[in-house]
């Protein structure tokens, strides 16, 4: 259904990334922790666990494809957003109450597939990409100082890719009592490939090479994932690197009874 892989890299002593998926509800979650000692992996682990649990609970409700009249979003998008809010609160409280967790935080990107759509929520610079019709698009914008400078015209997108100051995030879970979670919904088409990754991939591998790798090895998403991790490590592996991939095989309208069928909609 999904392909997923996380690797410590060539420089770090331990892995502060965390990943989790639930094929029954079409969920993928990836978090990239930060903090001293083991605090980063505590933060990312909490984030993945809380979002996975709350998303599963919310997905069990019949109306998750319905539109919320107040926000105009699908209810599953609200479930995903609120799960990330909750993760932020728990990480923040843990950081305040546990001395060894002081200053910890994590970025996150998560997606849920339902009724020919995908909801994507993110905080920080962990990313989601989509390959469609031979074109790779980054569908999340980093919450980072560098992205803000790009938005204001100080850097071009090409200059930003070569910048050495890419890792100053402006948003993360657990740093403040509340956080702004960015959520978007997209139509899903057959043959779409979705990639979630921590910044250890794009910091080491240019988007053109990510595109080429997915296009070349897409008969097996497991091979794609391994090739992407190997590329990041071959280019220096200065950070942990995590990737999650899903390929849509056919349309999945809700009327088909998605709970029973979603596991067959992706291939690895």
Q: What is the pLDDT of residues 188-201, one digit of tens each?
A: 999 999 999 999 99
Q: What sign for the dihedral angle of Cα 256, 261, 262, 264?
A: negative
**For all residues of the chain together, what is the average pLDDT?**
89
Closest to 165 in 3D by CA, of 150, 182, 181, 180 = 150
CB 242 within 8 A of CB 6: yes
CA 112/CA 118 separation, integer angstroms: 5
Per-residue pLDDT at 159 exceeds 60:
yes
Per-residue pLDDT at 165 exceeds 70:
no
For the stretch 201-259, pLDDT in tens is: 999 999 999 999 999 999 999 999 999 999 999 999 999 999 999 999 998 887 644 44
pTM of the model: 0.90
Which whole-number Å values give the CA distances from 65 to 160, 174, 258, in the listed order? 37, 29, 11
Residue 16: what pLDDT? 96
Length of the chain: 268
For the stretch 21-75, pLDDT in tens is: 999 999 999 999 998 657 999 999 999 999 999 999 988 875 666 887 877 888 8
Residue 261: what pLDDT? 47
Q: How many CA atoms lie within 13 A of 257 on its CB side?
A: 2
Sheet holding 2-7, edge to edge: 2-7, 241-247, 193-197, 127-132, 135-138
Per-residue pLDDT at 155 exceeds 90:
no
Residue 71: what pLDDT? 79
* Residue 212: strand, helix, or coil: helix
The number of distinct structural domains making up the chain is: 1
Domain holding 141, by residue range, is: 2-264
Which whole-number Å values give the CA distances from 85 to 76, 106, 150, 182, in the listed order? 14, 13, 27, 11
Residue 255: what pLDDT? 61
Local confidence band at 268 (pLDDT 50, 70, 90 cut-offs): very low
Per-residue pLDDT at 87 exceeds 90:
yes
Q: Which two tokens stand for residue 65?
A: 């494809």
Instruction: Mean pLDDT check: name the lowest of 70-79, 137-146, 157-166, 175-184.
Output: 157-166
Task: Give the CATH number for residue 85.
Answer: 3.60.40.10
């Amino acid at each position: 259904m999904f392909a997923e892989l996380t690797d410590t890299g060539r420089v770090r002593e331990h892995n502060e990334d965390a990943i989790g998926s639930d094929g029954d509800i079409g969920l993928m979650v990836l978090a990239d922790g930060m903090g001293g000692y083991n605090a980063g992996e505590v933060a990312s682990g909490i984030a993945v666990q809380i979002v996975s649990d709350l998303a599963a609970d919310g997905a069990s409700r019949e109306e998750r494809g319905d539109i919320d009249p107040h926000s105009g979003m699908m209810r599953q998008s609200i479930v995903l957003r609120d799960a990330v809010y909750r993760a932020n609160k728990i990480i923040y409280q843990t950081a305040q109450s546990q001395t060894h967790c002081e200053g910890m935080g994590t970025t996150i990107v998560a997606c849920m597939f339902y009724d020919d759509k995908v909801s994507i929520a993110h905080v920080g610079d962990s990313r989601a990409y989509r390959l469609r019709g031979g074109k790779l698009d980054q569908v999340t914008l980093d919450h980072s100082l560098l992205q803000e400078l790009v938005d204001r015209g100080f850097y071009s997108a090409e200059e930003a890719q070569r910048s050495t100051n890419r890792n100053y995030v402006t948003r993360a879970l657990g740093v403040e009592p509340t956080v702004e979670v960015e959520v978007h919904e997209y139509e899903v088409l057959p043959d779409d490939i979705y990639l979630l990754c921590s910044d250890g991939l794009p910091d080491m591998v240019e988007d053109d090479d990510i595109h080429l790798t997915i296009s070349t090895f897409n008969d097996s998403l497991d091979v794609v994932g391994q090739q992407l991790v190997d590329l990041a490590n071959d280019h220096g592996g200065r950070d942990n690197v995590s990737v999650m991939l899903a390929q849509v095989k056919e349309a999945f309208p809700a009327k088909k009874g998605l709970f029973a069928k979603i596991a067959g909609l992706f291939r690895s």
